[in-house]
Amino acid sequence: MAGALAACAGQGTAATGGTKHIRLSTWNIPTDITSYQAIADEFVAKHPGTSVAVEVTTGQFHQWFITRLAADLAPDVIRITPQQIGRYAANGSLVDISGAIPADYHSDYSDPFWAIGAREDGIYGVFQHTDNFITYYNRDLMEQVGVTPPTALADAWTWDEFLDVAKEVKQVTGKYAFGYGWSAPETAYRWLPFVYQNGGAFLGEDGATPSMDTAEAIDALAFGRKWYADGLATTGNISKSGGGDVARNLFLTGQIGMMLNNPESIVQLDTDMPDNWGTAPMIRNVGEASDLGGNALAVTRSSKHPELAAELVAMITSRSKMQQFCHDGNWLPARKSLDAADIGYASNSDTMQRFIDQGSTIPLSMVKAESGQYFSSLNAVFADYLDLCLLGQLSPKEASAQMMEAMRSVTAN
């Protein structure tokens, strides 16, 4: 049946009875499944003799995807994060779709966002939507400490300014000052913006040489260690043990007065503390940077109809379909010509525009590192040594040295 919704079954993608079957896999987000379904149905109507099934990615992504690739049963089109895409673009699991992507798409993307799927030999994915981190704050608490948070990117709190405010906030809460929006160990990379804010880099310009041994990178680790050494953040909120819900729950219960987090908290904040929360730009230091969130769409080598699958990717990432998808799912658009007014968010349009504006601070060098072929493994290394540093079990210099050794062992293979 055209546009049939299916669970992730092991069915192939070959044509049967003259029909060309395409499978698209996405995360188990009901609104997004519905949105993809609607686009799939429109695609089928324009391509007689085709069907598109929308499936749900199950379990741990890498295990799930590798298993299906090995059996030649991966979906035709896959929704994939920037941090996942590099490994599979490099090893041949994703195919070049440049022949189906209109030439004018590139001009509507920033260089960092286009680089997520673009390689020298082709295009292995197109970024569909993004998210990043900004600063949330409790309005009543800010009034108590006599602080007016910044509103413009150019006026964002520096590290020192943020820590000064955090110390005042801690005095009022009697607990901690702020939280950070990790959501699982595999999201340790969300802390990398601090390295780039300080003029450092996770990998060199070649996207492969570890560079966490620079003074800038070590100083960034020292900044993170200070959060916990000074009791400004709880050790229950580190990359491996404290996800975004931890920071959000601390914020909702008044144990912290600020958090650095993505848009996912907005709905619950509106429900549980309406009119008592606000946002400011992501903090900065000598430079600006924020988290690289979101998803791209790519075509896998299992596809029996890669050209048709690539056309579906082109349709979903068109300006009009991106606008509708982001409106329905409350996502941030990857295209630079779309702003909050274009999307028509049901609420918090100003906050969503702040997130969209913050996306312009995501550096190209960080994107190339996170979307590179080694990043999936390097991120696990980063999680190990970042947490050891944050908890004070390793000094910033010790964490840097041991991290570099482990990173080199990854990139050497």
At 74-124, the pLDDT tens digits run 999 999 999 999 999 999 999 999 999 999 999 999 999 999 999 999 999
Between CA 95 and CA 125 the distance in angstroms is 9
DSSP one-letter string for 58-121: -SSHHHHHHHHHHTT---SEEEE-HHHHHHHHHTTSB---GGGS-GGGGGGS-HHHHHTTEETT
Answer whether residue 392 is part of any domain: yes
Within its chain, how far is the Cα of 60 from the centroid? Answer: 17
CB atoms under 10 Å from CB of 321, counted, come to 19
pLDDT tens digits, one per residue of 189-201: 999 999 999 999 9
Mean pLDDT of 273-290: 98
Same-domain status, 301 and 229: no
Burial class from Cβ neighbours inside 10 Å (0-12, 13-18, 19+) for residue 226 reads middle
Q: Which domain holds residue 25?
A: 20-131+292-361
Between CA 320 and CA 211 the distance in angstroms is 40
Mean pLDDT of 233-255: 90
Residue 353 pLDDT more than 70? yes
Mean pLDDT of 25-37: 97
Task: Report pLDDT for 10.
Answer: 40
Residue 55 pLDDT more than 60? yes
Same-domain status, 357 and 388: no
Between CA 224 and CA 239 the distance in angstroms is 12
Residue 8 pLDDT more than 80? no
Kindly list the distances between the CA atom of residue 17 and the CA atoms of 50, 51, 306, in Å, as whole numbers in the listed order: 11, 12, 19
Say which CATH number the domain at 227 has. 3.40.190.10
Mean pLDDT of 329-358: 98
Between CA 177 and CA 233 the distance in angstroms is 6
Which pLDDT band, with edges at 50, 70 and 90, does 9 fall under? very low
- Cα dihedral sign, 336-342-347-348: positive
Residue 24: helix, strand or coil by DSSP? strand
Question: Contact at 8 Å (CB) between 148 and 142?
Answer: yes
Lowest mean pLDDT among 19-23, 128-132, 214-218, 239-243: 239-243
Percent share of the chain, pLDDT over 70? 95
Answer whether residue 340 is part of any domain: yes
Mean pLDDT of 213-224: 99
Question: Contact at 8 Å (CB) between 302 and 166?
Answer: no
Same-domain status, 243 and 389: yes
Task: Report pLDDT for 185.
Answer: 86
Lowest mean pLDDT among 101-105, 138-142, 202-206: 202-206
Domain count, the chain: 2
What separation, in Å, do the N-terminal and C-terminal C-alpha atoms of the chain show? 45
Q: What is the average pLDDT score of the chain?
A: 95
Residue (of 317, 378, 302) closest to 64 by Cα position: 302
Residue 281 DSSP symbol: P
Answer whether residue 1 is part of any domain: no
Same-domain status, 155 and 115: no
Lowest mean pLDDT among 10-24, 166-180, 244-258: 10-24
Within its chain, how far is the Cα of 374 from the centroid? Answer: 17
Task: Report pLDDT for 161.
Answer: 99
pLDDT tens digits, one per residue of 373-411: 999 999 999 999 999 999 999 999 999 999 999 999 999
Answer whether residue 76 is part of any domain: yes
DSSP one-letter string for 386-412: HHHHHTTSS-HHHHHHHHHHHHHHHHT
Query: Which tokens in the block code for residue 163?
Result: 């820590």
Mean pLDDT of 294-322: 99
Between CA 116 and CA 106 the distance in angstroms is 12
Determine if the pTM surpasses 0.85: yes
State the pairing for strand pair 332-333/277-280.
unpaired
Between CA 139 and CA 279 the distance in angstroms is 9
Residue 4 pLDDT more than 50? no
Burial class from Cβ neighbours inside 10 Å (0-12, 13-18, 19+) for residue 104 reads exposed
Same-domain status, 240 and 338: no
Kindly list the distances between the CA atom of residue 12 and the CA atoms of 64, 222, 297, in Å, as whole numbers in the listed order: 16, 51, 19
Answer whether residue 229 is part of any domain: yes
State the pairing for strand pair 293-299/258-261.
unpaired
Task: Report pLDDT for 7.
Answer: 36
Same-domain status, 380 and 337: no
Element (H, E) at 327: helix 319-329
Same-domain status, 227 and 161: yes
Same-domain status, 125 and 71: yes
Answer whether residue 24 is part of any domain: yes
Quote the Cα angle for 253-153-282, to 5°: 35
Task: Report pLDDT for 5.
Answer: 33
Within its chain, how far is the Cα of 66 from the centroid? Answer: 21
Same-domain status, 143 and 286: yes
Task: Report pLDDT for 6.
Answer: 37
Same-domain status, 346 and 382: no
Same-domain status, 396 and 278: yes
Query: Helix and strand tally (H, E) in the chain?
Result: 17, 12
Answer whether residue 10 is part of any domain: no
- For tokens 């440049």, the residue is 98
Same-domain status, 25 and 101: yes
Which pLDDT band, with edges at 50, 70 and 90, does 242 fall under? low
Answer whether residue 329 is part of any domain: yes
